[in-house]
A = this chain, B = another copy of it.
Amino acid sequence: MLNIPPRVLHGPGPSPVAPSVLEALAKPCIGHMDPVFMQVMNEVREMLQQVFQTENEMTLACSGTGSAGAQMLMDNLVEPGDTCLIGINGVFGGRLTEKAKRAGGVVTNMTAEWGQVFDQGAIIEKVNELKPKLVAFVHAETSTGALQPFDKLADAVHANGGLLAMDCVTSFSGLPVKIDEWGIDAAYTGTQKCLSCPPGLGPVTLSERAMHKVQNRQSPVNSWYLDLNLVGNYWSGSRAYHHTAPVNMNYALHEALRLVLEEGLEARFARHQAVHEKLKAGLLERGFTYASDPENSLPMLNLVNIPEGVADEAAIRKRLLDEFNLEIGGGLGALAGKCWRIGIMGHGARDENVEMILDSLDKVLG
């Protein structure tokens, strides 16, 4: 039988999972067409709508990880020849670009320094010039901790006949994600960040405008598995069998969402902010410096420079893991070897966890 150590997860995700979520995960498996499971799916959709702050009917948990959710949106929303405007200020904007290109999109990129964000006015200017069919930016760059403002973009995108898409993998349920108020047409997230559910599902939401595009494509979606014309019918409408949903993972997501709504969105956002501030104060006190733009940083993901004098950063992280069961994240892409990423997400956003992180750092660095 598997012997799994009790890690304390403070990297970029997965995050610590609440006991009741693991308990839900292990409930008896039932059929993917069972009326009881249909009810679970309905409740998952309704709770996702509340956290996405949307009334979008097409809100569901894609049967793959957050990256599958991203793939689903690009596969469905991009047709061969479609002009796309995609921002790259970290790893995940680059991945969106790659997915859009493979779907046949003609992509123009805006780029910013890793850790920085884009001025919304500059994006709007580019949108007016390019009139892209799809505009996609990353709300919360998991590779850098940057938080992209998103509230002013929709009018320009829509006036030019386009759709606005958002990666909110790391912000979802830890920061406001106002799909309807901001006019977002499509967004995807993962379960293993602020939701504190194990990885394995990719919640997505699409507006009617986005679904109009999907339903009126000239060419079929490349992926049968991720085709929202088919998957959508399984999640609502005709309930036609498409694939066998990951039943138990949906139980876990159900419980994770229930915990989010029981706490309340505003209280949850405030908790993430307060615990972030405690962590930040402790890190600054110890001489750490932040590598991200202080005006536009995520509370739940702290990008810090590796302290001077640390020759082998991977060895430090290995000691944290081996000696304290503590996981923090290394840098990704251009930041590999330069930064650490310390996550404070969901069930792990707690004062005692901050103390544990700081104590452990003291011991391995001191």
A63 within 8 A of B: yes
With CB as the reference atom, state the residue of chain B lying closest to A322: B35
List the 3 shortest-distance A-B pairs measured between CB atoms, nearest first.
Answer: A200-B246, A26-B26, A67-B243
A20 within 8 A of B: yes
Q: Do B2 and A30 touch (CB < 8 A)?
A: no
Q: Nearest-CB distance from A355 to chain B (Å)? A: 20
CA A13 to CA B244, docked complex, whole Å = 8
Q: Do A192 and B7 touch (CB < 8 A)?
A: no
Q: Do B251 and A4 touch (CB < 8 A)?
A: yes
Q: Nearest-CB distance from A16 to chain B (Å)? A: 8
Q: Nearest-CB distance from A270 to chain B (Å)? A: 25
Q: Mark A95-130, 1 if CB is under 8 A from B, else 0.
A: 100110011000000000000000000000000000
CA A270 to CA B58, docked complex, whole Å = 46
CA A206 to CA B183, docked complex, whole Å = 44
Chain A interface: which size bin? 35 or more
Given the known inter-chain contacts A65-B63, A95-B224, A99-B224, please indicate yes or no for A332 contacting B241, CB distance below 8 A: yes
Q: Which residues of chain B have C-beta atoms less than 8 A from A327's C-beta?
A: 30-31, 34
Q: Nearest-CB distance from A44 to chain B (Å)? A: 10
Q: Do A4 and B25 touch (CB < 8 A)?
A: no
Q: Do A68 and B63 touch (CB < 8 A)?
A: yes
Q: Which residues of chain B have C-beta atoms less than 8 A from A95's C-beta?
A: 224
Q: Nearest-CB distance from A99 to chain B (Å)? A: 5
CA A244 to CA B31, docked complex, whole Å = 26
Q: Which residues of chain B have C-beta atoms less than 8 A from A215's C-beta?
A: none
Q: Do B102 and A4 touch (CB < 8 A)?
A: no
* Cross-chain contact of A4 among B27, B65, B99, B246 (Cβ < 8 A): B27
CA A181 to CA B158, docked complex, whole Å = 57
Given the known inter-chain contacts A245-B199, A332-B241, please indicate yes or no for A68 contacting B225, CB distance below 8 A: yes
Q: Nearest-CB distance from A20 to chain B (Å)? A: 7
A190 within 8 A of B: yes
* Cross-chain contact of A254 among B2, B7, B66, B248 (Cβ < 8 A): B2
CA A24 to CA B3, docked complex, whole Å = 9
CB-CB contacts below 8 Å: A238-269 with B: 241-249, 251-252, 254-255, 258
Given the known inter-chain contacts A67-B243, A103-B222, A199-B246, please indicate yes or no for A5 contacting B30, CB distance below 8 A: yes
CB-CB contacts below 8 Å: A327-351 with B: 327, 332
Q: Do B102 and A223 touch (CB < 8 A)?
A: yes
Q: Do A222 and B225 touch (CB < 8 A)?
A: no
Q: Which residues of chain B have C-beta atoms less than 8 A from A223's C-beta?
A: 71, 75, 102, 222-223, 226
CA A306 to CA B222, docked complex, whole Å = 38
**15 cross-chain CB contacts under 8 A:** A1-B255, A2-B251, A2-B254, A9-B29, A9-B30, A14-B32, A22-B29, A65-B244, A67-B224, A70-B225, A99-B225, A192-B244, A200-B246, A246-B246, A248-B252
List 15 extra interface pairs beyond A2-B24, A7-B34, A17-B28, CB under 8 A.
A1-B255, A1-B258, A4-B28, A4-B30, A23-B26, A30-B327, A64-B64, A67-B242, A71-B223, A71-B224, A71-B226, A102-B221, A103-B222, A198-B248, A248-B252
A356 within 8 A of B: no
A237 within 8 A of B: no
Q: Mark A296-333, 1 if CB is under 8 A from B, else 0.
A: 00000000000000000000000001000001000010
Q: Nearest-CB distance from A138 to chain B (Å)? A: 15
Q: Which residues of chain B have C-beta atoms less than 8 A from A156's C-beta?
A: none
Q: Which residues of chain B have C-beta atoms less than 8 A from A366's C-beta?
A: none
